[in-house]
Every structure is written in structure tokens, then in C-alpha cells.
Amino acid sequence: MLQTLPPWSVRTGARCIGFEQSTAILEDGERVEADVLVGADGIASAIRQALHGKAAPVYAGYTCWRGICRDDGSLPDGSAILAVGHGMQCGIWHCGEGQIYWFVTKNAPEGTAGGKAEVLALCRNWAPPIPGVVESTPSDSIIQNDILDRPPLRKWGLGRATLLGDAAHAATPNLGQGACQALEDAVVLAHCLRAEQPVDAALRAYERLRIPRTAAIVNNSRRTGRILQLDQPALEWLRNSVSASPLGRRMERRLFRQLLFYPLPKL
């Protein structure tokens, strides 16, 4: 993607701290003027803060360890694992040639710290290949983050400024839609900007198209996380029973149809 752009069009090491109209203000005081300003600067977005005020992300109630290790053949090609336990989840799937990606979550107070030893203790009695995958991961290839999201906004931008991706609709990772929704945003934004209308009208059209879908995904993702992280035996039994039933399978198919069958404009 970088090779298709003019050399001057991408800059690194230039932190944006705010904006005026469609002019970005950098940390060193430089002002970068543009026709459109898109805040795509993540869950801690400075552009979102300037538009909507300062507010901390919301802790979902659980922390997550993630790692990448060498593929030792324990996970068959074309397969993935999602295991759910007592206030825990574990997911494992292939991540590029010769590599396995995994995650483990655990209900915990915000700011709980831990490393490889803590993850191994959490999943040592889980079925293979989960303990072995964690064990084979170098400690410096494991990261830990608390799971956060932000409540959906009713509007994103103002004038010639708008938001995109996690800056607009940061969600918990339970539906795997973070990068997916950012890419959808980008396609719809490009489509709206190509229309014959003023820039600010194009941005509001983009927001009207994207806010309902992304708000639903943020809410569904948080709700799914709560269900998967249940740590009360009676509710865990109910979750497992419904998930294995025909009703549960129908609900699952309906959710995935909503996620995957979204008509995007052709650019």
C-alpha cells in the first residue's frame, strides 16, 4: 500500500494533539492543512477528544494475554479453537506461515499484571493443545492488555473533520471486528467523498451510513464478551446448553450473517 502513495504523503514520528477545522496540529507546533481531516488515531484518539471531550475508555472486566509461537503441527491446517471456561476464554489459530496466534482472557480487576507463568497457571488443566501452545511461546512474545471499549457516539464529526476505526467505535475483540470495521469505514468514506457535494455534507453522509452498523457491533461485542466471560456455574451451564442447542446455532448464524454480509459500495 505504501508503494502506491507519493513519498511525501506518509509521515511517521509526528504526533497529532488536536485540530482546527481541517488543520491537524502536531506536538511540535506544526500545522498541517488539508481539505479533510480524518481522526483514525485509535482508542485514545486526540481528534475524538477534541470533538467530544476527554473521557477514558471503559474497562470490560477482564484482561487478555496474547502470543505468537512457532507452528508445531498441533493445530490442523484450516482449523481454529475457541475454548470457554470459568471466567476465561482461549483462542488459537494460524497466523501466517509457520506461526500460531493465541489469546487467553481472565476476569480480573483493572490493571492486573502477569506474564507467562500466570497464563500457564490459568490454563494448565485445559485440553491440548492449549497448554503446549502457551508453553512453547517465548516470554518476550507475550503481551498483556486490559480489554477496553467506548460507548457508541450518536455523531462523529463536525465540519470537515470526522472519525474512522477505533477512534470512532472501539469495540471489545469478541467478534473480531476491529480492523474489519475500519476497512469498511474507509471504503464508505471514499465512496461518499467521490460524490458531487460539499466535503462536510459528504462526511455527514458517511457517518449516517456507518454509525448504526458500528454501534450495533460495539454493543453486540460487549454483550458477547459478558456471556463468554461468565463465572457463575448456573449461568455457565445455561450458556453452554443454549450454545449447543438448535436455537443457539440459529442465533450464531444470524449474527455472522449480520457481520459478513454487508453490502459495500464499489469504488
The one-letter amino acid code at 135 reads E
Could you tell me the pLDDT band of residue 163, with boundaries at 50, 70 and 90?
very high
Chosen domain end from 133, 148, 163: 148
Q: Which grid coordinates belong to 85?
A: 471456561
Range of the structural domain that residue 161 is part of: 2-56+150-260
- The predicted pLDDT at position 45 comes to 96
Tens digits of per-residue pLDDT, 134-153?
Answer: 999 999 999 999 999 999 99
Domain co-membership, 72 together with 21: no
Tens digits of per-residue pLDDT, 32-72?
Answer: 999 999 999 999 999 999 999 999 999 999 999 999 999 99
Domain co-membership, 52 together with 103: no
Sequence-ordered list of residues with C-beta below 8 angstroms from that of 83, at least 6 positions apart, any chain: 89, 90, 91, 126, 127, 130
Number of domains the chain contains: 2
- Quick one: how far is CA 45 from the chain centroid? 14
Is 99 part of any domain? yes
Instruction: Read off the pTM.
Output: 0.92
| Domain CATH for 107 | 3.30.9.30
Q: Which grid coordinates belong to 29?
A: 507546533
Using the predicted structure, report yes or no on whether residue 30 has a pLDDT greater than 80: yes
Q: Which grid coordinates belong to 169?
A: 467505535
Average pLDDT over residues 219-236: 96
Domain co-membership, 41 together with 90: no
Domain co-membership, 245 together with 179: yes
Sequence-ordered list of residues with C-beta below 8 angstroms from that of 238, at least 6 positions apart, any chain: none
Domain co-membership, 88 together with 191: no
Per the DSSP assignment, residues forming a β-bridge with 148 are 59
Tens digits of per-residue pLDDT, 199-223?
Answer: 999 999 999 999 999 999 999 999 9
Domain co-membership, 80 together with 18: no
Chosen domain end from 105, 131, 148: 148
* Distance (Å, whole) CA 165 – CA 38: 10
Domain co-membership, 204 together with 77: no
Tens digits of per-residue pLDDT, 92-145?
Answer: 999 989 999 999 999 999 999 999 999 999 999 999 999 999 999 999 999 999
Mean pLDDT (the chain, rounded): 95
Domain co-membership, 164 together with 243: yes
Domain co-membership, 118 together with 128: yes
Chosen domain end from 148, 180, 207: 148
| Domain CATH for 35 | 3.50.50.60
